[in-house]
Amino acid sequence: MRSDAILLLVRGNRGRYNRVPMNSNSPIRIICFGDSLTAGFQSPTRDNPRGQSTPYGDWVQQRIGQAGQVRVSGICGELTAEMLMRFQQDVLAHKPHYVVILGGTNDLGWNGPPAEIMRNLVKMYEQTLATGGVPVPVTVPSLRVEDACTSREGQEWVAGHLARRVELNTLIGAYAGTKTLQVIDLFAATAESGTNLLAREYSNDGLHLSTAGYRLFADLVYRQVLQPVLSPQLS
Going residue by residue through the chain, which has 235 residues, state the pLDDT in tens, using 9 for 90 and above: 334 433 333 333 444 445 665 555 678 999 999 999 999 999 876 666 676 789 999 999 999 999 999 999 999 999 999 999 999 999 999 999 999 999 999 999 999 999 999 999 999 999 999 999 999 999 999 998 876 566 677 678 788 889 999 999 999 999 999 999 999 999 999 999 989 999 999 998 889 999 999 999 999 999 999 999 887 665 5
Q: Does residue 100 lie within any of the structural domains?
A: yes
Percentage of residues in the chain having pLDDT higher than 70: 82
CATH number at residue 117: 3.40.50.1110
Q: Does residue 235 lie within any of the structural domains?
A: no
Q: Does residue 151 lie within any of the structural domains?
A: yes
Q: pLDDT of 54-71, one tens digit each?
A: 999 999 999 999 999 999
Q: What is the pLDDT of residue 166?
A: 96
Owning domain of residue 133: 4-230
Q: Does residue 60 lie within any of the structural domains?
A: yes
Q: Does residue 57 lie within any of the structural domains?
A: yes
Q: Does residue 86 lie within any of the structural domains?
A: yes
Average pLDDT, the chain: 87
Question: Model pTM?
Answer: 0.87
- Domains: count for the chain: 1
Q: Does residue 185 lie within any of the structural domains?
A: yes
3-state secondary structure the chain: CCCHHHHHHHHHHCCCCCCCCCCCCCCEEEEEEECHHHHCEECCCCCCCCCEECCHHHHHHHHHHHHEEEEEEECCCCCHHHHHHCHHHHCHHHCCCEEEEECCHHHHHCCCCHHHHHHHHHHHHHHHHHCCCEEEEECCCCCCCHHHHHCHHHHHHHHHHHHHHHHHHHHHHHHHHHHCCCCECHHHHHECCCCCCECHHHCCCCCCCCHHHHHHHHHHHHHHHHHHHHHHHHC
Q: Does residue 153 lie within any of the structural domains?
A: yes
